[in-house]
Amino acid sequence: MLRLITIKLLQAAPVILVVSILAFLLMSLLPGDPAVVIAGDQASPEAIAAVRHSLGLDRPFLERLGIWLLRLAQGEFGSSLMLNQSVLSAMGERLPVTLSLAGLSLAITLPVGILIGSIAAYYRQTWVDSLVMTVALVGVSIPGFWIAILAVILFSVVLGWFPSSGYVPFAQDPVLWLRSLVLPASMLSLFQIGFLARMTRSAMLDVLSQDFIRTARSKGLSEWVTVGKHGFRNALVLVITAMGILVSTALGGSVVIEQVFALPGVGRLVVQGIMARDYPLVQGVMLIYGFAFVAINLAVDVLYTLADPRVRYD
């Protein structure tokens, strides 16, 4: 176990380096002089020079890359220009919102997606299968922010069931917290449920057609044990693989959903950063998300080995 984690960590190291370099390169994509872009068109030459110096843009490319990596190694992720705050603390303030949103969305997605995907596989080629898969297909085809706006009109403006925007911290009032997140989280889940249901269905179909399922049935095990235990356990391996993608799309989707519901999370921070040309902030957030993903994928790999003893790394 420990050996496995060590191997995985060693494999993740170069990816972390690549992620750092990619985030650095993003800044070099800026056309023209980034200092001018950041300082604004009306800035005086002195102001531009100051920005250039403070960002280290007056140094050669490789030296800048070296400094960037060195700083990262010391845990320095840069600071936001518009907030006058380090990226880490700016993100720290907003992360609870995004994690609540993405977490709640995954809490809806996982049981629903797996359940309806399995049902479709079990009743394959029947109307149940067609119905469930049509719903799943619609889920992955509808733009999330669009259906979210429509949902706001229906559930907030017309029916008044949920607030149309804003966020209440959990510590302040757990009930209002949940109420402020139910609508955004369910809208975020629509794509995910569709995605997971489609994936679960094909994984289950694969498993249910295998010999050991026939053996289980023929030795008289109940359908529940056959499908629920033997079948599901095996399909779980594929579902775990999907976890990485699900977390990724949940965090990506939260950028858009936070914008619709005016939730003060990391996604909204990024969009504000982009509008304010606060590139160090955007860069920092991307970097932290990138690192988080390397960690999540690592966890997924380890879980994968736990769920399927046949998978072994040497």
Could you tell me what percentage of the chain is helix, strand and coil, using 3-state DSSP and rounding each to the nearest 5?
75, 0, 20
Residue among 2, 62, 73, 275 that touches other proteins (CB under 8 A): 275
Q: How far is the CB of 7 from other proteins (least distance, A)?
A: 15
If one asks whether residue 289 binds other proteins (CB under 8 A), the answer comes out as yes
What are the φ/ψ torsions at residue 312 (nearest 5 degrees)?
-135, 135
Q: How far is the CB of 36 from other proteins (least distance, A)?
A: 14
Distance separating alpha carbons of residues 52 and 45, to the nearest angstrom: 10
| 185 contacts 191 by C-beta, under 8 angstroms | no
If one asks whether residue 293 binds other proteins (CB under 8 A), the answer comes out as yes
Q: How far is the CB of 30 from other proteins (least distance, A)?
A: 5
If one asks whether residue 147 binds other proteins (CB under 8 A), the answer comes out as yes
If one asks whether residue 300 binds other proteins (CB under 8 A), the answer comes out as no
Distance separating alpha carbons of residues 77 and 87, to the nearest angstrom: 6
If one asks whether residue 299 binds other proteins (CB under 8 A), the answer comes out as no
Q: How far is the CB of 172 from other proteins (least distance, A)?
A: 28
Residues 161-180 that bind other proteins (CB under 8 A): none
- Which listed range, 62-70, 77-85, 176-184, 291-299, lies at the site for other proteins (CB under 8 A)? 291-299
The token duo for 83 is 């907030």
Radius of gyration of the chain (CA): 24
Residue with tokens 């402020």: 180
Task: Please write down the long-range contacts of 9-13, taking CB distance under 8 Å and 24 or more positions apart.
Answer: 9/298, 12/294, 12/295, 12/297, 12/298
If one asks whether residue 197 binds other proteins (CB under 8 A), the answer comes out as no
If one asks whether residue 7 binds other proteins (CB under 8 A), the answer comes out as no
Q: How far is the CB of 186 from other proteins (least distance, A)?
A: 17
Cβ partners under 8 Å of residue 201, min gap 6: 117, 118, 120, 121, 129, 132, 133, 136
Distance separating alpha carbons of residues 192 and 136, to the nearest angstrom: 9
Q: How far is the CB of 213 from other proteins (least distance, A)?
A: 16
Residue among 105, 192, 249, 305 that touches other proteins (CB under 8 A): 249
If one asks whether residue 19 binds other proteins (CB under 8 A), the answer comes out as yes
Calculate helix-pair angle for 2-28, 279-307, nearest 10 degrees. 160
Residue among 54, 165, 241, 259 that touches other proteins (CB under 8 A): 259
The token duo for 294 is 């390397």
Of 260, 281, 276, which is closest to residue 94 (Cα–Cα)?
281
Residue with tokens 């995954």: 106
If one asks whether residue 184 binds other proteins (CB under 8 A), the answer comes out as no
Which residues make up the interface to other proteins (CB under 8 A)? 14-15, 18-19, 21-22, 26-27, 29-31, 120, 124-125, 129-130, 133, 137-138, 140-147, 149-150, 152-153, 157, 202, 205-206, 248-249, 251-253, 255-256, 259, 270-271, 274-275, 279, 282-283, 285-286, 289-291, 293-294, 297
